[in-house]
Chains A and B, each alone.
Chain A
Amino acid sequence: MKRITFLLVLILILSLALTACSAPAAEEPAGEEPVAEEPAAEEPTGETEEVVFGVFEPLTGAYAAGGAMELEGIELAQELYPEVLGMPIRVVVVDNKSDKVESANAATKLVDQEKVNVVLGSWGSSFSMAAGPIVEEAGIPAIGTSCTSPLVTLGNDYYFRVTFIDSFQGVVMANYAYDVLGAEEVVIIQDISNDYAVGLAKFFKDEFIRLTGNEDSIVSIASYNTGDQDFTAQLTNIKAMNPDAIFAPGGYSETAMLVKQAKELGLEAPFLGGDAWEAAEFIEIGGEAVEGVVFSTFFDAAAPLTPESEIFINAYREKYGEDPASVTALAYDAYILAIDAIERAGSTDPEAIRDALAETVGFDGAAGVVTLDENGDAVKNAVIKTVENGEFTYLTTISPK
């Protein structure tokens, strides 16, 4: 019994030491920036002396890389623009754990406990959609970062976003497949448990059928689940169909594995996809197999779109020593758009901010000019990228018609 107690104590000490070692690394994603820590001062007067931006992002789980990149954008924006209307901005970050239920919990925490003025986030349409009803009911405006599914803002007066939507993205990729690749027959393989992927697949399918005028031009729609590791069965079937191209909307970690296994099975058709692929992990996991895949996204550091892009890219390079990802730019835009709306409203009242947001026209963001339409969606350009020599490479920019 003594030995057991001793061992238990040893393990406890060890685990403490381990967590202590990793503390600096763990702090970064947790990142609750204590800019002005006076939580007690705000309640009695009823007038806030600080503005609170609530951020919910996947900081752990399958999409942690996406959340981490967006958080970088928000942190950078806060360093450049720490105040609005003379009040300091406090950013509260909550982890939605790459999970729909946790997203709803995260949003509830932000609106109920933290009393935020604006909600920012999230990477992943599913997570944003889970938070949608909660922000709407609380009457707190939310600005989506890279959530591209039309359903995020549809019928929700309090959800806005700084990105284009999948109906546009799907059309862009269908046109690319038809015009540039000359594809006649395409197979879709989608992550069926991911709202974003299913939506994107649908818009791609509709547009591609319209372009080819052939109902059977989408030969087959295969699917898999988030978190799957083995796609060989689906890919073997796809190989037998011999398509001209494969459209594979889904997250970067699954798709990287999927493309790798496709190449191992000798599947030569080019892979097309959406913005969710743009993460360093996509190339790290996929390796040589992902060379030549083509996807649409929001932004590229090689082609700055506005004066704000320059400010953002320079600040990012100075801080991190590399080029920013698209979603980092979008998160940055969500933050500065919130500031812009508060300034236009002249108030930190959530209702006033909402009204100002709804009237956004020609706002210069880092990832392009943002004009919000009646649904609260940004109308803006898409950028097409590929993977070349282990790096994301800019191909072209496509504007909405």
Chain B
Amino acid sequence: MGATTGAQVIVDTLVAEGIDTVFGYPGGTVIDLFDALYDATDKIRVIEPTHEQHGCHAADGYARATGKTGVVIATSGPGATNLVTGIATAYLDSVPLVAITGNVSNKMIGTDAFQELDITGVTLPITKHNYFVRDASRLQEVLREAFELANTGRRGPVLVDVPADVQKAVVEEGPLTPAPIPSPLRAPEAELMAAAEAINRARRPFVYFGGGALASGASQEIVDLASKIGAPMGCSLMGISAIPTDTPGFLGMEGMHGHYASTKAMYESDCLIALGARFNDRSTGDRTKYAPNGKVVHVDVDSSEFSKSLEDLVEVRSDVRTFLRDVEQYVEPNTHEDWQRHVRELRAQERGYADYREGLTPKNVMEAINAVRPQDVPVVTDVGQHQMWAAQFLRFTKPRTFVTSGGLGTMGFGMGAANGVALATGGPSILVTGDGSFEMDMAEMVTAADNQIPVVIVLLNNGVLGMVRQMQSLFKRQRYAMTTLRHRGLDFCKVAEGMGAQATRVSTPEELTQALEDALLAQRDEKTAGPRLIEVPIGEDEFVTPVLQIGASMDELIVNMDDVRSRMGR
């Protein structure tokens, strides 16, 4: 309260919003803001990344692991543009994020001044909303609105661009109260009844959940509904960790690289109950042949999702958890024994397709992590084959313990995000990454070492960009254009050591298990906590299976390597 500077208003608002950590990189137009943060280090920890993009992914990881809003700060011009990929990543996965950028002073705006950039124009299509604060007297109100928008309804990033003179200006500060949290969106009775009617009439119901299940905190409610109506469950990539992996009736991820039984059961279902999932093309395959056998009940907080991907839906505009509680009284218990028996057959088939090789296969790497990882230690991934293997084989029991870039598929997401996740939870995080992705973000080991952030890095090194190579194998007659990285001769362990991380290379599953145990143990002691790299060599022709050709429909799934070979004719 009282007269203070614009920069101080920003800091006070962050404190009022309960933000304990921000990720920020200084520069000419945020010098006042960093000066104000310098006096607030007892309340707000400032983590300085090596690059603004990683800082943005760290703020994103912080948000995904906790549900709180992540905050990133960057200077004008290149600082602001470096946030763009990070903001877009958060936008596509509906992650609450507030990005604060500096800009040149008002009187210089529009003159192409040094490091001037129209970042509100640039980020228009990748933010829920953005603000250019011309008038210092509106700064506090704008920041409050930004935090409210970021973390209500369908979550997402909001950017606030604050010219340097607004940070310096003396303003009257109003009462500091956090942005209000509106009650969750609730569907009208008619929509609930329509949903219940479709569910009650179903003979082969299937519960399918996505990121909205995590955002609304609907773990128990999902399992309760599915068991009441006798429906198997599956999820999208973004829904992983919302319910425990070993929940009876849970078939895992569906989609292009989904679990066989989950993808098949979803295809055969006559009533798909979609909870906070948006039917991305990687989930549906050919949309004209998607869910061909019946109704789709689509529950989402964002009604623009209804008319986007699929037609003929039972639309329910609601928060997922609220819907599940509201609809419970209208749905009739059922067991659907024939359908359940069929689902068990699908699972038996799936076991027949599994990979039982020994050695450092992708599956065995993930199983080693499963064996060692305490259940509250989150796993972060980067993007590519390793991400799909993690999604397929890792087991979870707690929500928000799987953090991955789904919608945008951002290579270079992982290391920054793993730092953010570890700082948010106050414990270690495990990053599962690949050599291609890690080349993009390994500089963040410097940030981890500098701040003793306990990140255990499991680097699957196959010397190639495996996901693209796999597509080249299947669809481009093994012409491996620009996907071989091995000849670069990069020594990841030496780089890690040069950046202040511990590093080790393993060559057997036993060594991997030992290295994981050692790395996690080291994180318990303040003196030895920090980034630890475990490099795991894997074969360059390991495929992610199942695999769906782009544009194919869900019943054309290629189930395993034998299936791949027979289709490739070798």
A is bound by B: no
Q: A residues bordering B, Cβ < 8 Å? A: none
Q: B residues bordering A, Cβ < 8 Å? A: none
